[in-house]
C-alpha cells in the first residue's frame, strides 16, 4: 500500500474540510452582522443565535487549520521504518477470523476513511482507545482494543 498516496489524500481532504468550514463561518458571520437582522425587540434573538453559530464555525476553522498543521509537521518528520508503531505508521492488523484492517496512526483527524489501492484505511489518533492500544506494538504482537463493553483482538501483521 502506498503511504505517500494516503498522506496526499489526507491533506486534500483536510484542505477541503477547511474550505467548507471557512465558507460556513463567513456565512454565519455575515448573517450575524447583517443590518436586516438587528433585533426589533427583546424576543428577537436571530442575530444572537447567528453570532453563536459564527463563533462555533470560527472554532471549527481553527481546528481544521490545526489538523493541517499537524500533518505538515508529520510529513516534515516522517518516522523512519522501525519495529514499533508510532504516529505516522500505517499498521496492518488481522482479527481472529482472518479479517484484515488497515489503520493509519495519525496526529489528528481520527475517523477519516479512505480507499487506497483498493483497500480501506481508517485514521486513528493516539488519544483514541484504538490508537492508544497500537502505540509501541510490534509485528506479531497481539492488540486488544476496548470499545464500549467489547474487547476486540488483533494481531499486528505489518508496520509501514
Low-confidence ranges of the chain (pLDDT < 50): none
* pTM passes above 0.85: no
The pLDDT of residue 147 is 77
Answer for the pair 112, 5: CB distance below 8 angstroms, yes or no: no
Q: Are 112 and 10 in contact (CB under 8 A)?
A: yes
What is the reported pLDDT for 25? 93
How distant, in Å, are the alpha carbons of 15, 33, 60, 118 from that of 19? 6, 21, 11, 27
For residues 49 and 29, what is the distance between their CA atoms, to the nearest angstrom?
11
User: What's the confidence (pLDDT) of residue 43?
Assistant: 74
Q: What is the pLDDT of residue 1?
A: 64
What pLDDT is recorded for position 21? 95
Amino acid at each position: 500500500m502506498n503511504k505517500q498516496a494516503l498522506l496526499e489524500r489526507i491533506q486534500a481532504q483536510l484542505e477541503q474540510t477547511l474550505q467548507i468550514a471557512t465558507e460556513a463561518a463567513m456565512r454565519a458571520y455575515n448573517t450575524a452582522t447583517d443590518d436586516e437582522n438587528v433585533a426589533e425587540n427583546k424576543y428577537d434573538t436571530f442575530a444572537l443565535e447567528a453570532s453563536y453559530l459564527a463563533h462555533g464555525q470560527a472554532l471549527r476553522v481553527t481546528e481544521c487549520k490545526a489538523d493541517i498543521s499537524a500533518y505538515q509537521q508529520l510529513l516534515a518528520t516522517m518516522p523512519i521504518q522501525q519495529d514499533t508503531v508510532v504516529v505516522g505508521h500505517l499498521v496492518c492488523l488481522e482479527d481472529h477470523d482472518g479479517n484484515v484492517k488497515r489503520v493509519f496512526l495519525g496526529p489528528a483527524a481520527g475517523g477519516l476513511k479512505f480507499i487506497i489501492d483498493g483497500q480501506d484505511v481508517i485514521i486513528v489518533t493516539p488519544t483514541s482507545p484504538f490508537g492508544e492500544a497500537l502505540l509501541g506494538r510490534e509485528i506479531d504482537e497481539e492488540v486488544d482494543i476496548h470499545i464500549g463493553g467489547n474487547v476486540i483482538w488483533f494481531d499486528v501483521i505489518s508496520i509501514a
